[in-house]
Amino acid sequence: MILNRKFIKNKKTSIIFLVLLIFFFLKLTNFPKNVYDLLKDNYEERFISSYNNVFYSGFCNKSSHGYIYHIYKKFSKTMNQNSVPKIINLDPIKRKKPYWIFLFHDPKINQDEIILLNYDQSLSNFDLKKYEILDNHQNKCLFLRKND
């Protein structure tokens, strides 16, 4: 009988310790809030918020992840499914081109479609006359298709 009480007491202590440990890790990792945020916002809102807050890229600044994603969503049905537009970033700071936004592992670059980022007409010698402008954001970020 005494042995049985010790076993029950140890079992209760272990369960209480385990429950406290789980609550501690939930609080430490902020798990409930993260799950709530994940369920509350859709993918586009989380994507834009992430790049505005973490990477400071914004919609049409620096690497312009927001604009590239906008083009992907708006023109994905009309783009060639086997290739992605060429990305030209005229920002003086050289940045890696974010082709990963198009969700292709090793994309083929379509030279006839161009996403032109950080364009400044007074500083650039890029000739827009050779292209049809499909999308224009404040004359700074452009989606172009080569004229035939």
Statement to judge: residues 67 and 23 lie in one domain: no
Handedness of CA 121, 126, 132, 133 (dihedral sign): negative
pLDDT tens-digit profile of 30-68? 888 888 888 887 877 776 666 655 555 667 877 788 888
Statement to judge: residues 33 and 94 lie in one domain: no
pLDDT tens-digit profile of 79-130? 767 788 998 888 777 777 777 777 767 778 888 999 998 888 877 788 888 8
- Asked if residue 64 belongs to a domain, the reply is yes
As for how many domains the chain has, the answer is 2
Statement to judge: residues 94 and 25 lie in one domain: no
Per DSSP, the residues of the chain read -HHHHHHHHHHHHHHHHHHHHHHHHHHHHTHHHHHHHHHHS-HHHHHHHHHHHTS--TTTSTT-HHHHHHHHHHHTTTS-TTEEEEEEE--SS-----GGGG--SSPEEEEEEEEEES--TTT----GGGEEEEEEETTTEEEEEE--
Statement to judge: residues 114 and 73 lie in one domain: yes
Global model pTM greater than 0.85: no
Statement to judge: residues 36 and 67 lie in one domain: no
Statement to judge: residues 90 and 117 lie in one domain: yes
Distance CA 46, CA 38 (A): 8
- Asked if residue 109 belongs to a domain, the reply is yes
Confidence band, pLDDT 50/70/90 cuts, at residue 7: low
Distance CA 68, CA 107 (A): 15
Statement to judge: residues 36 and 64 lie in one domain: no
Statement to judge: residues 62 and 28 lie in one domain: no
**Which token pair is 72?**
């992907």
Confidence band, pLDDT 50/70/90 cuts, at residue 6: low
CA angle in degrees (0–180, nearest 5) for 40-71-122: 125
What confidence score (pLDDT) does residue 1 get?
Answer: 47
- Asked if residue 51 belongs to a domain, the reply is no
Statement to judge: residues 82 and 127 lie in one domain: yes
Query: Could you list the residue range(s) of the whole structural domain that residue 136 is in?
Result: 58-146
What confidence score (pLDDT) does residue 40 get?
Answer: 84
